[in-house]
Structure 1
Amino acid sequence: MDTSPNKSNQTKNTTKLKSVYYSNWLLFLAIIYTLYFAQSLIIPLLLSVLIALLLSPLVTGLYKLHVPRAISSVVMLAMLATPFTLIGVELVEPAQKWAKLIPKLSMHLTEQVESLSSTFEEKETTNTIKKSAFFSWFSSKNEPKADEEKTGYAVTKRIKEGGMELMIETLGAAPVFFGQLLGGAILILFLLIFGPQLFSAFVKELPTTEQREKAIRLVDVTQKQLSKYIITASVINLVLGLSTASALYFIGLEDALLWGVIVAVLNFIPYVGSVIGAVILCLAGMVHFGVTPSALIPVGAYLVLNIIESQFITPTAMGKKMLINPLIIMLWLLICGWLWGLAGVLLSVPVLVCIKLVVSELGIWKNWLRIIEAGG
Structure 2
Amino acid sequence: MSDTQSTHTTSPRKLITPLNTLAVIAVLAVLYFAQSLLIPLVFSLLVALLLNPLVSRLKQAHVPRIISSVTLLTVLLTPVVWLGAELAEPAEKWLKAVPKFTLYIEQQVESFNQVMQLGEQEARQELEEPKKEEKDSGFFSWFSRDEEEPEPEQKPDNQPSVSERIEQGGAELLFTSLLAAPLFLAQCLGGVILTLFILVYGRRLFTVFIDEFPQVTNKDKVKATVKSIQSELSKYIFTVATINAGLGIMTATALYLLGTQDFILWGSVVALFNFVPYVGSVISLSMLLMAGLVQYNLTLMALAPATLFMLLNIIESQLITPLVLGRRMQVNPLIVILWLACMGWLWGMAGVLLALPILVCIKLVLVQMDKAPHWIRLVEAK
Report the TM-score when normalising by structure 1. 0.89
User: Does structure 1 residue 68 correspond to structure 2 residue 64?
Assistant: yes
Per-residue deviation, 1:42? 0.7
**What is the CA distance between 1:205 and its match in structure 2?**
2.3
Show CA shifts across 1:290-325 (max 9, x none): 022221111111111111110010000002221111
Structure 1 residue aligned with 2:12? 16
| CA contact 2:99–2:169 (8 Å) conserved in 1 | no
Q: After superposition, what is the alpha-carbon deviation per residue over 1:110-140, rounded to whole angstroms, capped at 9, x for unaligned? A: 11100110111111111456789xxxxxxxx
Q: Equivalents in 1 of 2:25, 2:12: separation in Å?
A: 20
Say yes or no: does 1:339 pair with 2:353. Answer: no
Cα 1:161–1:209 change in 2 (3 A) is closer
Map of 2:50 onto structure 1: 54
1:202 aligned to which of 197, 209, 216: 209
> Following the alignment from structure 1 to structure 2, what is the Cα–Cα distance between the partners of residues 209 and 42?
26
Deviation at 1:188, TM superposition (A): 0.9
Tell me, yes or no, if the aligned pair for 2:210 and 2:216 is still in contact at 8 Å.
Answer: no
Distance 1:157 1:53 in 2: 49
Q: 1:230: how far off?
A: 1.1
Match of residue 100 from structure 1: 96
Deviation at 1:238, TM superposition (A): 1.3
Unaligned runs of 5+ in 2: 130-153
- Assess if the C-alpha contact under 8 Å between 1:48 and 1:184 holds in 2: yes
Offset of 1:105 from its aligned partner?
Answer: 1.7
In percent, how many aligned pairs have the same letter?
46
1:80 is the counterpart of 2:76: yes
Identify unmatched segments of 5+ residues in structure 1.
133-145
Q: Which residue of 1 aligns with 2:264?
A: 257
Give the whole-Å Cα distance in 2 for the aligned partners of 1:239 and 1:99: 26
CA deviations over 1:242-291 (Å, ceiling 9, x no partner)? 11112112222111111111111111100000001111011111001102
Q: Given that residues 323 and 373 in structure 1 are in contact (C-alpha distance below 8 angstroms), is that contact kept between their aligned partners in structure 2?
A: yes
Give the TM-score taking structure 2 as reference length: 0.88
How many Å separate the matches in 1 of 2:256 and 2:95? 20
1:119-172 alpha-carbon deviations (Å, 9 max, x no partner) = 11111111456789xxxxxxxxxxxxx99xx99x72332222122212322222
Within 5 Å, give how 1:151-230 maps onto structure 2: 154-207=161-214, 211-230=218-237
Q: 1:91 and 1:171 mapped to 2: Cα distance? A: 15
Code of the residue aligned with 2:47 in structure 1: it is: I
8 A contact 1:102–1:287 mirrored in 2: no
Partner of 2:368: 361
How many Å apart are 1:90 and its aligned residue?
A: 1.1
Equivalent residue letter for 1:79 = V
The whole-number CA distance in structure 1 between the counterparts of 2:184 and 2:93 is: 23
Equivalent pairs counted in the alignment come to 356
SS in 1 for 2:66: helix
Alignment of 1:119 with 2:126, yes or no, is no
C-alpha distance 118-365 of structure 1, shift in aligned 2 (>3 A): same
- Corresponding position of 1:312: 319
CA gap 1:214/1:206 in 2 versus in 1, 3 angstroms: farther
Root mean square deviation of aligned Cα: 2.2
User: Which residue pairs with 2:28 in the alignment?
Assistant: 32
Deviations 1:80-114 (CA, angstroms, capped at 9, x unpaired): 11100001111122222223332222121111100
For the pair shown, the structure with the greater C-alpha radius of gyration is 2
Say whether the 8 Å CA contact 2:44–2:194 is kept in structure 1. Answer: yes
Counterpart Cα distance in 2 of 1:167 and 1:66: 49
Distance 1:229 1:96, change over 3 A: same
